[in-house]
Chain A
Amino acid sequence: AQRVTQPEKLLSVFKGAPVELKCNYSYSGSPELFWYVQYSRQRLQLLLRHISRESIKGFTADLNKGETSFHLKKPFAQEEDSAMYYCALKNTGFQKLVFGTGTRLLVSP
């Protein structure tokens, strides 16, 4: 069965510190991985996807198939990064997204 695990409910860092939000998945096929973000009082939105291999708002994520991980990283956190972050997995060829339980990132000044 597909499963996405985000082990940290809350991650609290100071501004300028590096950030790593962990995401592990279990899936037997070839998954597509995504990070979604929900800022306060806003709707969920796509942050980045592994197939794009892009950096959005300074965030990057690399798919590590050996460790079945897709951790989200940013070298220097900003206060505006404070939000709820969800890792999600999709079957190749299907539309369903399976979400993790989310990690709340709090960046303090």
Chain B
Amino acid sequence: EAQVTQNPRYLITVTGKKLTVTCSQNMNHEYMSWYRQDPGLGLRQIYYSMNVEVTDKGDVPEGYKVSRKEKRNFPLILESPSPNQTSLYFCASSRSGRAFFGQGTRLTVV
């Protein structure tokens, strides 16, 4: 079954404590991306990756890092989380505009 898996689903952390949200896809897609979803702002792209070792900033990259060492994995790293990064995060992999999304990670930074 084609799917994108991200973990954890829920995370509460404290300001400044580094965290990683994992994302894995089994469709051999080259393009993967991370979004955050905030009320009234819709989905905003944080980072994307065109292929292994090829990543670039999206629309709201500040405070985030990513890596793409393997095709299937695209982790999102928050080196020093702050309360304004409290949000719902989605990973997606896509081909030709058809995007498959993960279940979402609800992150709260206190």
Binding site for B on A (CB under 8 A): 6, 9, 32, 34, 36, 43-46, 49, 86, 88, 90, 95-102
B82 at the interface (CB under 8 A from A): no
Interface size class of B (residues with CB under 8 A): 20 to 34
B interface, by DSSP: helix, strand, loop or mixed?
strand
Q: Are A43 and B43 in contact (CB under 8 A)?
A: no
Q: Is the interface of A mostly helix, strand, loop or mixed?
A: strand
Instruction: Given A99-B43, A102-B42, check contact A44 B97 (CB 8 Å).
Output: no
**7 residue pairs A–B, Cβ–Cβ below 8 Å:** A6-B42, A43-B103, A44-B90, A46-B98, A95-B94, A95-B96, A101-B40
* Given A43-B104, A44-B90, A95-B31; A86-B43 close (CB under 8 Å): yes
The 8 closest A-B CB pairs, nearest first, are A101-B42, A95-B31, A99-B43, A90-B97, A44-B101, A43-B101, A102-B42, A43-B103
